[in-house]
């Protein structure tokens, strides 16, 4: 699971708002530029971001393994037809390139997650989007980032318990249904406990958030984000 990891990289020292701007600009540019030159430029930029933030590529790909299955399924399904010649590789080129661009966006988002604490992300969203919508969105983002790792640990615990009880001898459908039912049960239980804990701690819509401030390091990040967006006009 991708989570924040303390470090002294350049990305860790940037304001989260500038990192969000770079991430949004990269997503816009990567999805808009479909030429070979655009794909090469997006790949090089994504690689530079991963190196700068010290994101381990193979561990990140493993964390995105379920998304990779979905991205790979699109081109494969497109190549298959119901009649002769049954498989047409040329039909899958466009979807494959689209999946590759989506993968680059996911890798850049992994760099953001690794270099940004959850509280900073919440503060950035709440101070960028004014009013109650910003507070609601920032709270939702913070809960998702905190809740997903817990749910993943629960699923691993369920799989380990099934394996210890020879659950691997059951059919795939039975294993999937058991994990799904138990996983949903634990998710609802944890959600109820979370709601109770938030009430017990007098959950506030306007908590004290960490102080955010731009520095000289954020100037190149905003320049890069602006250049990515303006590249649509080129």
CB proximity list for 131: less than 8 A, separation 6 or greater: none
Mean pLDDT of the chain: 81
Beta-bridge partner residues of 80: 87
Residue 43 has pLDDT above 80, yes or no: yes
Q: Where are the domains of the chain?
A: 10-117+216-233, 131-200
Nearest-angstrom CA–CA distance, 5 and 111 = 10
pTM for this predicted structure:
0.72
pLDDT average, residue stretch 80-85: 72
CB 14 within 8 A of CB 72: no
Q: What are 87's strand-pairing partners?
A: 80
Residue 67 carries which DSSP code?
A: H
Res. 203 pLDDT band, cuts 50 70 90: low
Q: Is the confidence at residue 1, as pLDDT, over 70?
A: no
44 pLDDT exceeds 90? yes
In this prediction, residues 64-84 reach a mean pLDDT of 79
Per-residue pLDDT, 45: 92
- Contact (Cβ atoms closer than 8 angstroms) between residue 234 and residue 35: no
Mean pLDDT for the stretch of residues 29-55: 88
pLDDT in tens, 145-198: 777 777 778 888 888 888 888 777 777 777 788 888 888 888 888 878 877 776
């Amino acid at each position: 699971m991708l989570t924040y990891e303390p470090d002294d990289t350049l990305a860790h020292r940037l304001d989260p708002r500038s990192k969000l701007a770079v991430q949004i600009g990269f997503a816009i540019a990567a999805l808009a530029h479909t030429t070979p030159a655009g794909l090469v430029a997006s790949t090089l930029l994504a690689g530079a971001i991963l190196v700068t933030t010290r994101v381990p590529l193979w561990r990140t790909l493993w964390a995105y393994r379920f998304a990779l299955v979905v991205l790979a399924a699109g081109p494969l399904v497109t190549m298959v037809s119901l009649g002769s010649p049954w498989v047409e590789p040329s039909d899958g080129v466009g979807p494959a390139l689209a999946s590759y661009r989506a993968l680059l966006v996911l890798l850049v988002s992994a760099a953001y997650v690794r270099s940004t604490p959850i509280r900073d992300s919440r503060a950035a969203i709440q101070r960028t989007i004014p009013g109650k919508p910003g507070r609601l969105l920032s709270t939702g983002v913070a809960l998702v980032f905190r809740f997903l790792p817990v749910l993943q640990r629960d699923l691993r615990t369920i799989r380990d318990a099934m394996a210890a009880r020879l659950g691997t001898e059951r059919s795939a459908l039975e294993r999937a249904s058991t994990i799904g039912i138990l996983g949903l049960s634990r998710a609802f239980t944890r959600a109820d406990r979370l709601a109770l804990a938030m009430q017990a701690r007098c959950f506030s819509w306007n908590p004290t958030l960490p102080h955010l401030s731009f520095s000289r390091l954020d100037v190149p990040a905003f320049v890069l984000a602006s250049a990515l967006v303006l590249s649509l006009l080129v």
